[in-house]
Amino acid sequence: MNNRPLIFITNDDGIHAPGIKYLAGIASQFGDVIVGAPDTPQSGKSSALTVNAPLEVNTHPSVDGIQYYSITGTPVDCVKVAMHAILDRKPDILLSGINHGSNAAVNNIYSGTMGATMEGCLLGIPSIGFSLLDHSMKADFQPLGQFVSDIISRVLASGLPQDICLNVNFPAGCTPEGVKVVRAARGHWSEEYADYATPHGKPFYWLTGTFINEEPDNSDTDEYWLARNYGTIVPIRPDQTAGDKINDIKAIID
């Protein structure tokens, strides 16, 4: 009988991204790995799900004992469809990534990588999203290997607090100095669009922008430590209720 952990892996860059293959390789030392990822890139898809269209699953060749499936939907769709149609039991851990690009700070809310991670958490699965601050499809994941491996190993051993998942980010182009468990930096995106005009003179817009970190210089946040070549782990609670503000809102409304 097989009692190795069952590890489900997804991402938002799609099944062909190098980051997911690297993550699957690391994970396979800890258990049986099944990959179920979007068939096309799904960056910026947040927790979007497909309401008004059907979803299909396609089987890809196994590589080194790792099973690969692609799904014609968003990262959250991948988690939901995998639970319905691919996995024969609830996985022991869900891993998402390794994303090509930062999901630190406010990016958590837009990230498909973290959408899938939070979906796993809502389903009661210990779930971790991994990201590298390098958008390139040629990004070098090698310097992260030991850190990713350690985090998976510890979460498999200890689990995570109820209703909490992890948003893990790594600096680009270096071996991290270490890993810090911190809160997300407060901030927003600015100067968000490049302006164009069609050949007929009609304006159109393409998303770009600059992240504005609203924190004081020495704040103990993910952006602070990433800038100093540390990996960061932010504990994430999918439930966005601000329980500490219920009385303030009562005072305004009642």
Comparing CA positions, the residue from 157, 146, 169 lying closest to residue 97 is 169
Among 115, 129, 171, 176, binds a copy of itself (CB under 8 A): 115
Judged by CB under 8 A, does residue 248 bind a copy of itself?
yes
Judged by CB under 8 A, does residue 142 bind a copy of itself?
no
Comparing CA positions, the residue from 153, 136, 124, 118 lying closest to residue 234 is 118
Judged by CB under 8 A, does residue 56 bind a copy of itself?
yes
Judged by CB under 8 A, does residue 122 bind a copy of itself?
yes
Q: Is residue 51 classed exposed, middle or buried when 0-12, 13-18 and 19+ CB atoms within 10 A define those classes?
A: exposed
Sole window of 3-11, 20-28, 91-99, 244-252 interacting with a copy of itself (rule: CB under 8 A): 244-252
Judged by CB under 8 A, does residue 228 bind a copy of itself?
no
Judged by CB under 8 A, does residue 184 bind a copy of itself?
yes
Q: Is residue 93 classed exposed, middle or buried when 0-12, 13-18 and 19+ CB atoms within 10 A define those classes?
A: buried
Q: Is residue 65 classed exposed, middle or buried when 0-12, 13-18 and 19+ CB atoms within 10 A define those classes?
A: exposed
> How far apart, in whole angstroms, are the C-alpha atoms of residue 103 and residue 169?
7
Comparing CA positions, the residue from 94, 116, 104 lying closest to residue 42 is 116
Sole window of 2-10, 13-21, 25-33, 201-209 interacting with a copy of itself (rule: CB under 8 A): 201-209
Judged by CB under 8 A, does residue 177 bind a copy of itself?
no
Sole window of 2-10, 13-21, 27-35, 234-242 interacting with a copy of itself (rule: CB under 8 A): 234-242
Judged by CB under 8 A, does residue 60 bind a copy of itself?
no
Sole window of 2-10, 16-24, 87-95, 146-154 interacting with a copy of itself (rule: CB under 8 A): 146-154
Judged by CB under 8 A, does residue 88 bind a copy of itself?
no
> How far apart, in whole angstroms, are the C-alpha atoms of residue 132 and residue 135?
8
Of 1-40, which residues contact a copy of itself (CB under 8 A)?
A: none
CB 172 to a copy of itself: min, Å: 19
> How far apart, in whole angstroms, are the C-alpha atoms of residue 48 and residue 218?
34
CB 64 to a copy of itself: min, Å: 27
Q: Is residue 187 classed exposed, middle or buried when 0-12, 13-18 and 19+ CB atoms within 10 A define those classes?
A: middle
